[in-house]
Structure formats: structure tokens, C-alpha cells
């Protein structure tokens, strides 16, 4: 429970109790010299009736505040959990991109060491080109998850930088598929150069997404 809500509830309760005591005091003062006790009883009954109505209204206000506070905290917890899962998905994707880039460099070294028609090198190239298709699927997952998150959270940035990420990945993906998969071109220095550039650029875009997700992730104190 937020301290502001608890403090508000205490203030309202204290105010109502003080108001009741003041009304009772005024009632006794007005009837202090009155020998008619029935008038005093009627006055106290009226005060208690009014106070009961006010207290009921105040209780409803406090209950509404507590409920809204609970809803806010519940939604914040859900948003934090969702943001954390996307953060981990992005982190794992970045590691896969790094592995992909390293594998491309290794294949390039093999190309320089052996005959380009060597079967093991050909198999490595085919495997590497298939990897980019697997990365495309994870890219789709990230975009879907981020867009769903931004629709869920009202105060989130428009797209958390996912459009820049999408454009960066798609540019490289089109380069690989058009030149090397569809046309059967063998990996060369241009491929390695583009892959290294892609690795650096995509890392920046992924880091940008993660930095924005951090604003929604609740870090719980282990001591609490």
C-alpha cells in the first residue's frame, strides 16, 4: 500500500472523529441549561445520524482509494514482469547475433585455408544461412511482444525503439537472402564486412530497447 493512500485514510478518519467530538461538544453546550433531556437526546440522535451518513461516504471514498491503489500496484507488477521477459528475450537475441557473426568469421577463415569447394565449408555456409532464418523468427517475436507491451502500458513510449530495430534487421536480412540465399553467391569479404556492421548496429538498437524497458522493471530489495 502506498504511504499517500494510508495517510489519506488516517487523515479522513481523524477528521471525522474530530468533527464528531466537536458536534457532541456543541450539542451539550446548547442544552447545558436545558432541563428537557429529550431535546438533548434528539439532538445527539440527529448528530449521530448525520455523522453515520458522512462516515459511510468517507468509508466508500477510502475503499475506492485503496482499491485503485491495489489495481495500480497489481498492474505495475504485471507490467514489470512482462518488461523483464522482453528484456531477457532481447538479451538472448543479442547473444545469438554475436554467435552468428563469430560463426561467419570462422567460415571466412576456413574459406581462406581450404579449397572453396570443400564439403565441410559448404555445409558450414548452408548452416549459417539457415541461422539467419531462425533469427528472423526471433525478430518477429520481439516485435510482437514489444508492440503488445506498448498497447498494454498507457505511459510507455510509442514503440520502445522497435521500428529502428526492425529496419536494421530487415536491411541485413534482405542483403543476405537476395545476394547469398536466392542467388547462391558464396560468402566473401563483403558478407563478413556487412555482418560485422550489422552486429554493431543491431546491438545499439537492442540496447536502446532494453534501456527503455528498464523504466518498467521493478527491482525488488532482497533484504525486504
Domain regions of the chain by residue span: 3-71, 81-216
CATH number for 81-216 (one of 3.90.1690, 1.20.120, 2.60.40, 3.40.630): it is 1.20.120
* Length of the chain in terms of residues written: 224
CA of 210: how far to CAs of 116, 151, 197, 224, in Å?
40, 17, 20, 26
- 44, pLDDT greater than 80: no
- The percent of residues above 90 in pLDDT, for the chain, comes to 25
| 135 CB neighbour count, 10 Å cutoff | 19
Report the distance separating Cα 222 and Cα 224, nearest Å. Answer: 6
Instruction: Name the burial class of residue 120, with classes exposed (0-12), middle (13-18) and buried (19+) by CB atoms within 10 angstroms of its CB.
Output: exposed
Q: What pLDDT shows up at residue 181?
A: 77
| 160 CB neighbour count, 10 Å cutoff | 25
Report the distance separating Cα 137 and Cα 131, nearest Å. Answer: 10
Q: What pLDDT shows up at residue 171?
A: 95
**Long-range contacts of range 58-62, CB-CB < 8 Å, 24 or more positions apart?**
58/12, 58/13, 58/16, 61/12, 62/8, 62/9, 62/12, 62/13
Dihedral sign for Cα atoms in the order 41, 44, 49, 55: negative
The DSSP secondary structure of 79-115, one letter per residue, reads HHHHHHHHHHHHHHHHHHHHHHHHHHHHHHHHHHHS-
- pLDDT category at 127 given cuts 50, 70, 90 is confident
DSSP class of residue 31 equals T
Write out pLDDT tens, residues 165-198. 999 999 999 998 888 877 777 778 888 899 999 9
Amino acid at each position: 500500500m502506498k504511504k499517500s493512500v494510508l495517510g489519506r485514510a488516517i487523515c479522513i478518519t481523524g477528521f471525522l472523529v474530530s468533527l464528531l467530538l466537536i458536534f457532541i461538544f456543541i450539542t451539550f453546550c446548547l442544552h447545558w441549561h436545558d432541563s428537557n433531556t429529550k431535546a438533548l437526546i434528539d439532538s445527539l440522535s440527529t448528530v449521530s445520524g448525520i455523522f453515520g451518513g458522512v462516515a459511510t461516504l468517507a468509508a466508500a471514498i477510502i475503499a475506492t482509494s485503496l482499491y485503485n491503489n491495489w489495481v495500480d500496484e497489481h498492474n505495475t507488477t504485471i507490467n514489470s514482469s512482462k518488461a523483464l521477459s522482453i528484456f531477457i528475450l532481447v538479451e538472448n537475441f543479442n547473444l545469438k547475433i554475436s554467435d552468428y557473426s563469430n560463426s561467419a568469421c570462422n567460415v571466412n577463415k576456413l574459406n581462406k585455408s581450404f579449397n572453396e569447394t570443400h564439403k565441410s565449408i559448404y555445409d558450414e555456409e548452408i548452416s549459417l544461412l539457415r541461422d539467419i532464418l531462425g533469427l528472423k523468427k526471433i525478430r518477429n517475436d520481439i516485435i510482437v511482444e514489444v508492440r503488445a507491451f506498448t498497447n498494454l502500458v498507457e505511459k510507455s513510449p510509442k514503440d520502445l525503439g522497435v521500428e529502428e530495430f526492425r529496419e536494421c534487421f530487415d536491411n541485413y536480412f534482405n542483403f543476405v537472402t537476395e545476394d547469398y540465399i536466392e542467388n547462391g553467391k558464396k560468402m566473401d569479404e563483403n558478407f563478413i564486412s556487412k555482418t560485422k556492421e550489422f552486429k554493431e548496429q543491431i546491438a545499439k538498437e537492442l540496447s536502446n530497447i532494453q534501456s527503455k524497458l528498464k523504466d518498467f522493471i521493478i527491482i525488488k530489495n532482497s533484504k525486504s
